[in-house]
Amino acid sequence: MHNKLLAQWLQDHAKMLGTLDSSPDKTFYETLYEAIIDIARNGETRMVDSILESAAAHAVAVDRGLTSLLSVPQQLRERIWQRIGEEVDPEPAFVMLSAVDTIFVHIIRVMIDAYLEATKLSHAAKAVEISRLYTDSEQKVMQYAAEVARANRELAHLEQAKTDFIGIAAHELKTPLTLIQGYVNILRELDIGERAINLVEGINRGAKRMTIIIEDMLDLLAMDMDQLNLILDEVNLKTIIELIGAQYESILAERKLTLETEGLDSLPPIEADVARVFQILKQVVSNAIKYTPDDRTIIITGQIEESGKNAAGRVRITIRDTGVGIAPEDKDKIFEKFYRVGDSALHSTGQTKFMGAGPGLGLAIVKGLVEAHGGRVWAESQGFDLKNLPGSTFHIVLPIQAAPRSGVPFERILKMKPAKSKKVTP
């Protein structure tokens, strides 16, 4: 039943095919049309099943025959068939009409079953109650269902518009930023004085920060469009974490933060995209630094998860900070695009400043990259508390042998040897 081409065609013809000028079945017909669009787009039948059950119960309550009731979807099917046959080329028309038939077979089956069930209730002396419940509410239920379907389509349209904007903005900003960094490099070579050099370095830092944001936007765009390509190779997680620690060494010293590691020596190499794994872990460590006050500790732990008989082994990296924590209502939302915890007006800007605000892209990218590898990521915290500092724990689980999510393109550089199974008690 899932056919996006059919869904788009039906949506484009809604004003023509999805209405009846004057008929007692106008609302039922129009709502059924919206439900068919929903089935074709999402493959879900819950909405149409609810509409059909409501219509069947009302028909029984007002003594309407099943044949009369079935004439409504039959009329709709014939109109759709006729228009597709007239407007669409034979090959795509055949696929679309096959999907139409599958949808209407489901509709007829559900309507007959619902009508028979309602008839049983009627014979059990419940016809009066059914009429009271359904006669007054049928129109409202159907209108609400149609509005929900339209709202869902509008949300999908807005999401697509947002994705398009991200792509356009990122590509358009990248070229002038490249020019700015080029001129900065030229100015560095000139004898312009110490004060001017300081200004040039300030421009360079700002340009680099914008470049990072643009690269993040392009990563999100690639994930949304299923164009993220993984280069699979043997990855040593301990080495990556040590490199991240070295990169943040001066910042940790400045903030008087201690970065501790546990269990990394016991981790086997994993098959993954080394650049993307570095990006994942660096982002989560950066978050831990941002939301941990000075003079406190961040702990990174590695362990092997036990695997079942038919499951490949996995490793878990746990990054636990002793910072402000995460409010319960924010724990899932922090992985959404552009979501920022708390009032952004009260945050400072920066990648490592305490409570430094960002554009809200980092953890969304982390989630996308982890899931692209076939892994999972989630956060745990007792809550947000600036005084008691309950801290947060981020869990990142990755397969030892590569298991990219379906639809993610990948290249394998070197086939890994199967890792020896180990059992480690957490």
- 319: pLDDT strictly greater than 90: yes
- 310: pLDDT strictly greater than 60: no
Could you give the CA distance from residue 64 to residue 370 in angstroms, rounded to a whole number? 55
* Average pLDDT over every residue of 146-169: 74
Which pairs count as long-range contacts for 241-245, CB under 8 Å and 24+ apart, including other chains? 241/281, 241/300, 241/302, 241/317, 243/278, 244/278, 244/281, 244/282, 244/285
pLDDT in tens, 254-267: 999 999 999 999 99
pLDDT in tens, 379-395: 999 999 999 999 999 99
Could you give the CA distance from residue 394 to residue 372 in angstroms, rounded to a whole number? 18
3-state helix, strand, coil in the chain (%, to 5): 60, 10, 25
Could you give the CA distance from residue 377 to residue 396 in angstroms, rounded to a whole number? 5
pLDDT in tens, 322-340: 999 999 988 888 988 777 7
pLDDT in tens, 224-251: 767 788 999 999 999 999 999 999 999 9
- 204: pLDDT strictly greater than 60: yes
Could you give the CA distance from residue 383 to residue 388 in angstroms, rounded to a whole number? 10
| Structural domains of the chain ordered from first start | 4-161 (1.10.490), 230-412 (3.30.565.10)
Give the pLDDT band of residue 346 (cuts 50, 70, 90). Answer: very low
Q: Write down the pLDDT at residue 405.
A: 85
Residue pair 17/79 in contact (Cβ under 8 Å)? The answer is yes
Give the pLDDT band of residue 16 (cuts 50, 70, 90). Answer: confident
Cβ-in-10-Å burial (0-12, 13-18, 19+) of 225 comes to exposed
Give the pLDDT band of residue 163 (cuts 50, 70, 90). Answer: low
Tell me which residue has tokens 């129109």: 139
Q: Write down the pLDDT at residue 425.
A: 43
The pTM assigned to this predicted structure is 0.57
Q: Write down the pLDDT at residue 109.
A: 93
CA distances from 73 to 48, 66, 80, 361, 416 (A): 12, 12, 10, 46, 57
Could you give the CA distance from residue 155 to residue 174 in angstroms, rounded to a whole number? 29
3-state DSSP call for residue 192? coil
Number of H helices, E strands in the chain: 12, 10
**Which of 413, 408, 381 minimizes the C-alpha distance to 394?**
381
